[in-house]
Amino acid sequence: MKLLKIGIVFLYLIFDMSGFAQQPNIIFLMTDDQRWDNFGCYGRPEFKTANIDRLADEGVVFDRAFYPVAICMPSRVTMMSGRYLSNHKVGFTHPYNLTFSKTDFEDTYPAQLKQSGYRTGFVGKFGFAVTDTAYHTKGGVSGYDLQEHLGKYFDYFAGNGVHFSGAFKAWPEDARLKEIYDENRPLNERTLKTGDAMLHFLDTQPKDKPFCLSVSFYAVKNDKDKDMYPPHVKEFENKNFSVPENWVEGKNTKLPELLDHWRGVTLHMKRTSTPELYQKLVRRFATQGYTVDQQVGRLIEKLEDMGILDNTIIIYTSDNGRFHGSQGLYDKAILYEESIKAPLIIFDGRKTKEKRGYREDAFISSVDIAPTILSFAGIETPGKMQGKSFTDILDQTQNRKQWQKSVYSESLFINILHKKRKNEDIESVNQELINANESYRSRGVRNEKFKYIIYYEHTPVIEELYDLDNDPHEMNNVVSDKKYAKVLKRLRIETEKKHKEIQ
């Protein structure tokens, strides 16, 4: 009997050790403002994304992935926390301008993985402030020390805060990191520096521990040369790119006039409203995307050389989309497809080749990413997370009748409030904006066939409804067409119900 017990304990230990050893390594790659269709695997090979396309060919490409909020800071919080903006309230403008408390950060995927024995790393643009307690900001968080506030959660870090005065920090103390970020290195090698730090994390990885590395590239942006690596600029200097069907030269008179208050209208006129401006800017995006793609290639090669690619999951996405002249808009945030549709590619080296290399049409929200990452590691989803794991979708075991048939998105950034964020009576400024019918806060749902948007602070409310089967580029608002009355009523109810659920 004693021998039997010893044998059971021994088998348990073997199973436990084996289970730990088989926990996958997880690499989460995120770009900045990279529109979903700027890839070969999403139908535009002119962008030269061969390494990302390889991930797609050997992984899963999601064709219905969307952002619940499509602007930088809140989107990043949503992906780390698995919570909607209306719930976490971390963003740029009142009243959604909180910092993120350390208590809440304990329930993010990096913190949960670290607590469970993973080595955690972060490289690049962090994008939001984690503070002892949450509070409303007024244009930044002064004197913020990234290591003081994030050192507990990340074993390895090389990046900065960007949106809240969090100056660059790197830890642990390391000669190679200092070399990578040497101030004498050309500024236009920023994406290469991110790639170098990413590989250095792998060079310093212990063999007996799983890891999770989050890499947030500063590219793909329009207004900086820090990601315009000269040899890659030459790849596209004489290239003329295809133009989306809903690109608008000049002003789009079909948009709700309310959106004239959104900065995307004026930015379009300055940046993308002529064929020449469009091509000039798209070359910049292609250049930066190509440089990111080269880092992805370096990453894959490194994982292969280390012999760990077959136990590594790589997730590739962006923080939000970008209009780039589509709809006669620039920027993001507003709830049309170019803004809220996400590139999402997941490569799982543990899967056999027969179970990889396909496209997936299940509806995925980026609020689902954090619980999915935890599920990969066998960690229970914290109660605060509002998204749900889609590992069963990836395993092809999900009962599709029980999976979500739509995604919810909201747009809560108001640029006039961002400009006046230091105003002592910002609540009055906000109310005046609403009273003047200049608020374009909106929410809505997108399902297989329809997109519904409501600008709910306008009196009367402004609504948009698009029949995506017949109008995939959202060029004809059918909200007043009586034959869509039942659809409109149903989506109104669904949107309001979801809004109340996530508060």
Domain limits at 487? 408-502
Together in a domain, 55 and 157 = yes
User: What secondary structure does DSSP assign to 358-380, as a single string?
Assistant: EEE-S-EEGGGHHHHHHHHTT-P
Together in a domain, 394 and 452 = no
- Per-residue tokens: 245: 């069907």
Together in a domain, 144 and 171 = yes
CATH code, domain carrying 288 = 3.40.720.10
Together in a domain, 145 and 89 = yes
Together in a domain, 493 and 445 = yes
Residue 19: per-residue pLDDT: 39
Together in a domain, 425 and 356 = no
Together in a domain, 480 and 391 = no
Together in a domain, 48 and 166 = yes
Together in a domain, 43 and 192 = yes
Together in a domain, 112 and 42 = yes
- Cβ-based neighbours of 437, under 8 Å, separated by 6 or more: 258, 458, 459
Together in a domain, 417 and 296 = no
User: b/e map of 350-370 (b: 16 or more CB within 10 Å)?
Assistant: ebeeeebeeebebbbbbbbbb
pTM for the full predicted model: 0.94
Please choose, from the candidates 372, 367, 406, 363, the residue with its C-alpha nearest in 3D space to the C-alpha of residue 386.
367
Q: Is the peptide bond before 230 cis (omega within 30 degrees of 0)?
A: no
Residue 12: per-residue pLDDT: 37
Q: Which of 363, 380, 407 is the last residue of a domain?
A: 407
Residue 172: per-residue pLDDT: 97
Report the number of distinct structural domains present in the chain.
2
- Per-residue tokens: 419: 């400009």
The list of the chain residues with pLDDT below 50 reads 1-21
Per the CB < 8 A criterion, the answer to whether 88 and 108 are in contact is: no
Is residue 202 in a domain? yes
Together in a domain, 326 and 470 = no
Is residue 14 in a domain? no
Give the C-alpha distances (Å, rounded to integers) separating 374 from 80, 113, 237, 313, 323. Answer: 11, 7, 42, 12, 32
